[in-house]
Amino acid sequence: MNIAVLCSGSGTNLQAIIDSVRNGYIPAKIALVVSDEGRAYALERASNAGIETLILNAKDFKSREDFDKEIVKNLKKRNVELVVLAGFMRLMSPYFVKVYKNRIMNIHPALLPAFKGTHGIKDALDYGVKVTGPTVHFVDEKLDHGPIILQKAIEVKDDDTEETLLERVHKEEHVIYPEAIKLFVERRLEIEGRRVRIV
């Protein structure tokens, strides 16, 4: 199965996925890495692994849908069956979600539906929760909203800072994201309404 990974930043999750493909844990090929940010370190990780990259600048497109159409065109050309968002900081258009319905995954650094948005770790810490952790979910039209595939709870310590908590959340992200992708590629995820069953 061909998969594509969309990133905007440092790409530590991309790296975990690259490593999991390389060692055979995920039986798939990363056919393309797309970034909306030309300076993203994720692009270097992809190039180092010999993976084709595509940089798209949102400013070059009239609308979100036009931007997404360009991505979809490139994904179709490479027969991509699963789209993996790994720190891709854009909301997908209804067009994209429709074309790849139930075939787009995202990772979020908090236990959804809590602390949606771009500051999941800071928001959880500021709120004072005792437990938080990453969520892998399918993407629908709403922000951080689609059916949940995997979550991992971790304890928040009294002396945690954003940095220390981020480090522990990332460590778990790098375990559950490859696991969720593996399950998808092996066609072991069944979606019924909001519930995702592992078969």
Which of these segments, 52-60, 102-110, 123-131, 178-186, binds ligand GAR (CB under 6 A)?
102-110
The closest alpha carbon to 114, from 105, 122, 124, belongs to 124
Does the annotation count 137 as an active-site position?
no
Q: Report the residue from 5, 21, 32, 86 that binds ligand GAR according to the rule CB under 6 A.
A: 86
The closest alpha carbon to 1, from 196, 188, 191, 184, belongs to 184
Residue of 108, 119, 137, 170 marked catalytic? 108
- Separation of alpha carbons 58 and 41, rounded Å: 18
Which of these segments, 31-39, 43-51, 107-115, 145-153, binds ligand GAR (CB under 6 A)?
107-115
Interaction of residue 168 with ligand GAR, rule CB under 6 A: no
x/- mask, ligand GAR, residues 122-151, rule CB under 6 A, reads ------------x---------x-------
| Interface with ligand GAR in residues 60-79 (CB under 6 A) | none
Pairing outcome for strands 189-192 and 195-198? antiparallel
- Separation of alpha carbons 60 and 94, rounded Å: 20
CB of 169 to ligand GAR, least distance (A): 6
Q: Residues in contact with ligand GAR, total (CB under 6 A)? A: 17
Q: Which residues lie closer than 8 Å to 60 by C-beta, 6 or more apart? A: none
Interaction of residue 20 with ligand GAR, rule CB under 6 A: no
Residues at the contact surface with ligand GAR, assessed by CB under 6 A: 7, 9-13, 86-87, 107-109, 118, 120, 134, 144, 170, 173
- Give the catalytic positions in this structure: 108
